[in-house]
Amino acid sequence: MKLVIKNLSKTYANGVSALQNISLTIPQGMFGLLGPNGAGKSTLMRTIATLQEADSGSVFLDEIDVLNDKQAIRERLGYLPQDFGLYPRISTETLLDHIAQMKGIGNKGERKELVASTLNKVNLYKERKKSLGTFSGGMRQRFGIAQAMIGNPSLIIVDEPTAGLDPAERNRFYNLLSELGENTIVILSTHIVEDVNTLCSSMAVICKGSVLMQGKPKEALDKVEGKIFQKAIQKSQLHEYREKYQVISTKLHEGKLSLRIESDGNPGNGFEQVQPDLEDVYFSLISTKVDLITI
């Protein structure tokens, strides 16, 4: 099974070109879609989830024409949107039953069993009579996963999932997601490199509506191997270093700036070579497209 996106474009009425000829092949497993805010991730996710129209291009899940056969894809889709604030007063159980019905599971008895087993999987069975409005951020996310996984979807889309979760909740969420990834295509859209690093076997980076890379994280790392150098400098020196070197990221550490640059050869001047990580790959790709970010 694979999802093939070809030449997908979308320009909003205000003239913003959110997707510019996007082509991606997404295999089974967890796929990380990385990009800074405004890159076009949500637009792409919503288009695949049939919630909005593209101007041109195609999306196929194997033989299913996603953009033209919306009902077929909706029956196979699990979608966890960025903001899951629907129906705060309905009980968890009732809402999940309703979602199962919308996904085409008509038999009431079958649905009841499915709802119970799904709530068990995400550890919310005990809270089944409570409404979403009473849940913590982590519980809401787990409900989000429950509603996305109900009905055995072959494609699951998760948009910016870990915002607002504390570290323990985030860990639980990661575990649940990676279980899902084994037999389905799970697209995880995020601006957090670590989420992709932890979970995804393949990935793409998009920025300003274009694909900057796609492949395996390891392949991406190989491209910058031996080219990343680091040095601690004073904050006031940043401008001078930016003029001279290809700065890919800066991090504040004990009041000084830890600067990472990309260079084909050893730059000298006190820089030391470091083992690249996925963040270096990401910042190296997007640094040519957006203003540098200080973390």
Report how far residue 38's alpha carbon sits from residue 218's, in angstroms, rounded to the nearest whole number: 26
Q: What share of residues in the chain are helix, strand, coil (percent, to 5)?
A: 35, 30, 35
Helix (H) or strand (E) holding 280, with range, is helix 278-286
Least Å distance between CB 13 and ligand ADP? 7
Comparison of 12 and 87: residue with beta carbon closer to ligand ADP: 12
Q: How far is CA 150 from the centre of its chain?
A: 20
Residue 266's region, left for phi above 0, alpha for psi from -120 to 50, else beta, is: beta
| Shortest Å, Cβ 26 to ligand ADP | 17
CA gap 49, 54 in Å, rounded: 11
Choice between 3 and 100, CB closer to ligand ADP: 3
Residue 201, Cβ neighbours under 10 Å: how many?
A: 14
The single residue among 8, 22, 32, 35 that binds ligand ADP, judged by CB under 6 A, is: 35
- Rg (C-alpha) for the chain, rounded Å, is 21
Among 3, 8, 18, 200, binds ligand ADP (CB under 6 A): 18
The site that binds ligand ADP (CB under 6 A) totals a number of residues, namely 12
**Residue 9 or 246 having the CB closest to ligand ADP:** 9
Tokens linked to 188: 């995880």
Helix/strand/coil for 143: helix
Q: Are 128 and 91 in contact (CB under 8 A)?
A: yes
Beta carbon nearer to ligand ADP, 150 or 186: 186
Could you tell me how many residues make up the chain?
295
The amino acid occupying position 78 is: G
**Could you say which of 1, 12, 85, 223 contacts ligand ADP (CB under 6 A)?**
12
- Which amino acid type is present at position 219? E
- Whichever of 42 and 50 has its CB closer to ligand ADP, that residue is 42
First-to-last CA distance in the chain? Answer: 38
Interface pick for ligand ADP out of 6, 29, 38, 131 (rule CB under 6 A):
38
Nearer to ligand ADP, 42 or 154 (CB): 42
Window 40-99: residues binding ligand ADP (CB under 6 A): 40-43
What is the nearest approach in angstroms of ligand ADP to the Cβ of residue 78? 19
Q: Tell me how far, at minimum, the Cβ of 8 lies from ligand ADP, in Å.
A: 12
Q: Does 190 bind ligand ADP (CB under 6 A)?
A: no
Where is 41: in which H helix or E strand? Answer: helix 41-48
Position among 3, 8, 39, 220 found at the interface with ligand ADP (CB under 6 A)? 39
Q: Shortest approach of ligand ADP to residue 35 CB, angstroms?
A: 5
Residue 92 or residue 190: which is nearer to ligand ADP going by CB?
Answer: 190
Residue 80 Cβ, how far from ligand ADP at the closest point, in Å?
A: 14
* Segment near ligand ADP (CB under 6 A); pick from 36-44, 143-151, 179-187, 236-244: 36-44
Q: Which stretch binds ligand ADP (CB under 6 A): 35-43, 98-106, 162-170, 258-266?
A: 35-43
Alpha carbons 39 and 206: distance in angstroms, whole number: 6
Distance (Å, whole) CA 22 – CA 15:
17
Kindly list the residues in this chain that would bind ligand ADP in the complex (CB under 6 A).
12, 14, 16, 18, 35, 37-43
